[in-house]
Amino acid sequence: MAKKPTSKASSKTSPKVTSSQSWLKQAHVLTQALPFMQLYDKKTVVIKYGGHAMGDEHLAAKFANDVVLLKQAGINPVVVHGGGPQIAAMLERLGIKSTFKNGLRVTDAQTIEVVEMVLAGAINKQIVTALNNAGGTAVGLSGKDGNLLVATKTKIKQKTPKSSVEKAVNLGFVGTPTKVNTQVLDTMLASNIIPVIAPIATSAKGQTLNVNADTAAGALASALNAERLLMLTDVTGVLDKKGELLERLSVRQAAQLIKNGTAQGGMIPKLETAMKAVKDGVGATAILDGRVPHAILLELFTALGAGTLVE
């Protein structure tokens, strides 16, 4: 029996065409990303990784792949992680109540032990493992290692509900970095190692202090003269009073958002960190939605960017 003629649109031909078109699209994307990759070549990018995206296995794997890609592309990523939801879950399991003031967790002696255990223990090693599984070489640290982060107790003031009088608020074992010793990080960044840092600091007297992850990332970015500070969070970026995304902000505009009450809760320390980092010489700070796949790559390697850029 004679064989039937094969159509040009047969199943043997179509997949090859589709595959070829797919590869061409990928090549086009790479050529568009090249100028941005050159811009960040051999530069340091500090990434604050936190929020609920850390608890999503699928997003965590994508984050790890993206960070390893940065390292392979000649960029020096430094990961500083939070762990608010995980800390809250552990405190609840242990029956320890937790409160916040100006977006910062009030940390007593009992709470600081839990915070250090969760941050420097479980979470830090989970991120290190994910990066290593993605083909990177990650090493976990806390701010106490090599006196990386030396801090003093944080002092804030808050208005009383019935008046405009400001009173000092005791946050307990919460710290603000006053000194960053980058020797350990300098050695790591000169090699193929990706540092992963838990925001636990030490005081000059050796006291353990809980540092807001955004604040810690900002201090490290400034000390390392980073080209970018990327702050991954659970919102699309900084929003105006109508709930619309603000794509770009000057330091002055960011300060005004805090002053007029547009920025509230956890966004306050994020904006304060972003402003201070820019003032200290960091190229710019981006506040991104960590729930968006490849948010880091979109911000660094595309003209569109993602979230809010403070510069």
Going from the first residue of the chain to its last (311 residues), give the mean pLDDT of each consecutive group of 10, the final group possibly shorter: 41 53 70 74 94 81 95 96 90 89 83 95 95 97 97 80 68 93 94 96 95 94 97 91 92 95 88 95 94 90 84 93
What is the C-alpha to C-alpha distance for residues 53 and 79, in angstroms, rounded to an integer?
14
Q: What is the pTM of this model?
A: 0.85
**How many other C-beta atoms can be found within 10 angstroms of the C-beta atom of residue 82?**
25
pLDDT value for 101: 79
pLDDT value for 160: 65
The domain ranges of the chain are 42-310
pLDDT value for 182: 96
How many CA atoms lie less than 13 Å away from 105 in the CB half-sphere? 26
pLDDT value for 20: 74
What is the C-alpha to C-alpha distance for residues 29 and 37, in angstroms, rounded to an integer?
12
pLDDT value for 163: 61
pLDDT value for 161: 65
The answer to whether 181 and 144 have CB atoms below 8 angstroms apart is no
Domain 42-310 in CATH 3.40.1160.10: yes
pLDDT value for 137: 97
pLDDT value for 29: 66
The answer to whether 296 and 67 have CB atoms below 8 angstroms apart is yes
Buried b (16+ CB within 10 A) or exposed e, 60-81: bebbbbbbbbbbebebbbbbbb
pLDDT value for 164: 66
Q: Please state, in angstroms and as integers, the Cα–Cα distance from residue 181 to each residue in 149, 184, 186, 215, 276, following that order.
A: 7, 8, 10, 16, 18
